[in-house]
Amino acid sequence: MASPAKSVWDTESSERLGELERVHTVVRGRGPGRRWYTDQLNRSLFVALVAQFQIYCRNLHSDAVAAYLSPVSAPQHEVLQRLLVQDLQLNRRNPRRGVLGRDFRRLGLDLIGIMNAQSTRVRGDLERLDLLIDFRNAIVHGNELAIQSHIAAGLVATNLKSYKQFKKTTDRLVNTMDSIVSTYLADELRTSPPW
């Protein structure tokens, strides 16, 4: 079972990203050989990917808050909910490790610490997430020097293959985060997992 946030990631977010991928296929064509005039479209794929991942992270936090407050009485519910979402960093900052850690720590969950302890692959995915966000920020802020620096260092390429590799990274992070948050809530609330 998945969280409502993951269900949105698997359906609506996937469809939004799929629209851009299909446009890319139409512009680039299906046959072999290099097609021109796809650089800006490729860049937009990275921008959209970070946007959809941020939506997932905000939704997951909302799902976690709802589950966390489910046993609380009605008079306390509103006050506690306000405290748990007040000044939520995911509403205005990029979904980097520090932001995710800070926002989920409000629930008593050391999300990033647990993720780092999971495996070297998860740690690598978190590092790639920050790289993806750096690249996306360079694009949306029109920082051509930073864009070219990322490309020259071999950290990212503005092509469909590189985008799909980062998409796989975010897919793995979504699965990992969904599982960790569910397990934490079940342990904390001493109930069955909420999803």
d(CA 44, CA 26): 15
Question: What is the reported pLDDT for 76?
Answer: 85
Q: Choose among 117, 91, 113: nearest CA to 101.
A: 113
Does residue 81 contact residue 57 with C-beta atoms inside 8 Å? no
Question: What is the reported pLDDT for 116?
Answer: 97
With a cut of 60, say whether residue 33 has pLDDT above it.
no
Does residue 139 contact residue 46 with C-beta atoms inside 8 Å? yes
Question: What is the reported pLDDT for 179?
Answer: 98
Q: Choose among 121, 108, 118, 100: nearest CA to 184.
A: 108
Q: pLDDT band for 36, please (50, 70, 90 cuts).
A: low
pLDDT digits (tens, 9 = 90+) for 163-194: 999 999 999 999 999 999 999 999 999 999 99
pLDDT digits (tens, 9 = 90+) for 124-161: 999 999 999 999 999 999 999 999 999 999 999 999 89
Q: Which of 32-36, 105-109, 119-123, 175-179 has the lowest mean pLDDT?
A: 32-36
Spell out a b/e string for 5-14, using b for 16 or more CB atoms within 10 Å of the CB, else e.
bbbbbeeebe
Question: What is the reported pLDDT for 78?
Answer: 81
pLDDT digits (tens, 9 = 90+) for 60-113: 999 999 999 998 887 787 878 888 888 899 999 999 999 999 999 999 999 999
Q: pLDDT band for 23, please (50, 70, 90 cuts).
A: confident
**3-state per-residue secondary structure call for 106-136:** CCCCCHHHHHHHHCHHHHHHHHHHHHHHHHH
